[in-house]
Amino acid sequence: MLTLTSPIETPLHRLPAGAKLAALCVTTVALFALTSPLALGTALAVVAALYLANGRAFALQGLRLLRPLWPFVLVVALWHLWTGALADGAATLMRMIAAVAAANLVTLTTRLSDLMAVLERLTAPLARLGLSPRTLSLAVALVIRFVPVLLDRQARLSEAWSARSPRRPGWRLLVPATLATLDDADRVAEALRARGGIG
């Protein structure tokens, strides 16, 4: 399965993941503390410059990741056109786009393994509560492995339904799908135990 990390190598890829995450936290807090449209416009311009400095293809990739925001942009824009508070609306939109684009920049330039290492460091104190870093890695690996497995089975259940009925399957397939997921969980647990368990 694909991650959202960009295949286009940038200098940002080489920065340590922890530093990028810390910078993102500071940036996000600052963006939500700012209210002046001028300051927020500057912040947005800086984020845009960071994308553009890494080339056209990379910037376009960043733009595609912002697509889910457009419905919200539309709602806010219409709202403020209606109420007439245009400066407020512009500030809100620039803050939202800058915050999401900055966070996406970290995602685009940080490998899954590097983020995983940060996550393991951050959750290390939980070891005393019984969550060892190894258990967490195993859980993450299991999800990544089983998403395609479950998708494949969903497709087969859907085909089996189509072979029997001209109607669309709808929600009813979720009962066998969930049941099969529970069965898988039992079988994988047995397999893990047979190999010495997760102790």
Partner 1 sequence: MERNLTHIALFAALIAILGLVPKIDLAGGVPITAQSLGIMLCGTVLGAKRGALAVLLFLALVVLGLPLLSGGRGGLGVFTGPSVGYLVGFPLAAFTAGWVVERTTLPLGIAATAGAVIGGIGVLYLFGIPGMALVLGKSLPEAAFLGMAFLPGDLIKAVLAGLITRGLAQMRPGSVLSRA
Which residues of this chain interact with partner 1, rule CB under 8 A? 1-5, 21, 24, 28, 32, 65-66, 68-69, 72, 75-76, 79, 88-89, 91-92, 95-96, 99-104, 106-108, 110, 112, 115-116, 119, 135, 138-140, 142-144, 146-147, 149-151, 154, 168, 170-171, 174-175, 177-179, 181-182, 184-186, 188-190, 192-193, 197-198
- Select 39 or 116, whichever has its Cβ closest to partner 1: 116
Alpha-carbon span 145 to 141, nearest angstrom: 6
Alpha-carbon span 66 to 54, nearest angstrom: 17
- Select 42 or 72, whichever has its Cβ closest to partner 1: 72
Least distance between partner 1 and beta carbon 71 (Å):
9
Provide the residue type at 178 as one letter: T
Least distance between partner 1 and beta carbon 11 (Å):
19
- Select 42 or 184, whichever has its Cβ closest to partner 1: 184
Least distance between partner 1 and beta carbon 123 (Å):
9
- Select 44 or 96, whichever has its Cβ closest to partner 1: 96
Q: In residues, how long is the chain?
A: 199
Q: How many CB atoms lie within 10 A of CB 47?
A: 23
Helix (H) or strand (E) holding 3: none
Least distance between partner 1 and beta carbon 146 (Å):
4
Least distance between partner 1 and beta carbon 142 (Å):
4
Alpha-carbon span 76 to 74, nearest angstrom: 6
Q: Which of 120, 117, 108 is nearest to 54 (CA)?
A: 108
List b or e across 100-119, with b for residues whose CB sees 16 or more CB atoms inside 10 angstroms. Answer: bbbbbbbebbbeeebbbeee
